[in-house]
Amino acid sequence: MTAAWALGAIEEKVSIEPLSRALTDRAAEVRRTAAWALGEIEDARAVRPLSTALDDQAVEVRLTAVWALGEIEDASAVPVLATAAKDRDPRVRQQAAWALGEIESAQGISTLETLMRDPVAEVRKTAIWALGEIEDGGAVPALATALKDSDPDVRSLSAWALGEIEDVSAVEPLLMALKDSDEDVRATAAWALGEIESPRAREGLTAAQRDEVGSVRRAATWALRQIDDDNDDPHVRVHVNPKIKIKP
């Protein structure tokens, strides 16, 4: 294990071959450390050996292998991660969604849309975050549907992702989200409409300026200023962070 850790720590590309062999070691901790080291090196040549680790019996090895694929950020890993997205352990599925978000390839959208229907909310949220990172308009219909999810964090994150994508086809579902029962969803929807900057959102945002919650009113005011190209008001500031935490 110490040797595999050292090879990852020095991040030498010549270490790929010995680390790839270590992925078949009898000890699970050696295999996990080898996968971690390959992620630290960040070389696309490690994608193939890491893909074999997705069949490992030890979940920690599979988790680390998926994390490593995300660290490498090479589009050749997308089909491999589609397999990881079907893992029996929800932690691996969530990690696969994170990795696809790191790679930021539109090839991963269909897999992420499948993960958006996962029974585990954390998996759904991570998939939505990843779609926001990819920023492709092809994900808008699925994200619009997720605005009706039973989990308010999922709905808020969906609104954030739509704002990141900035596609005008998201305006109508976001206007509906301005009436959501959750204040974070409403505020994030207003922010997203400001990112999209479509005049079609003016009426809904004007109504949102009368919301009972201050954060929603501020977001609506900021969004209207974005639409009107008036970005110089120092008294209106809105910042939205996706509620997602991944510990590789």
Identify whether the C-beta of residue 163 lies closer than 8 Å to the C-beta of residue 192.
yes
Two structure tokens written together for 86:
């079907």
Cα 238 to its chain centre, rounded Å, is 21
Q: What is the set of domains in the chain, with CATH numbers?
A: 1-106 (1.25.10.10), 135-248 (1.25.10.10)
Question: What is the pLDDT, as a whole number, of residue 246?
Answer: 54
Q: Is the dihedral of CA 37, 244, 107, 168 positive or negative?
A: negative
Alpha carbon distances (Å) from 231 to 225, 235, 237: 6, 10, 10
Query: What φ, ψ does residue 235 adopt, rounded to 5°?
Result: -90, -5
Query: Quick one: pLDDT at residue 9?
Result: 47
Instruction: Show the tokens assigned to 59.
Output: 């979940």
Low-confidence ranges of the chain (pLDDT < 50): 1, 3-11, 234, 245, 247-248
Q: How far apart are CA 231 and CA 223, in angstroms?
A: 10
Q: What does the pLDDT read at residue 15?
A: 80
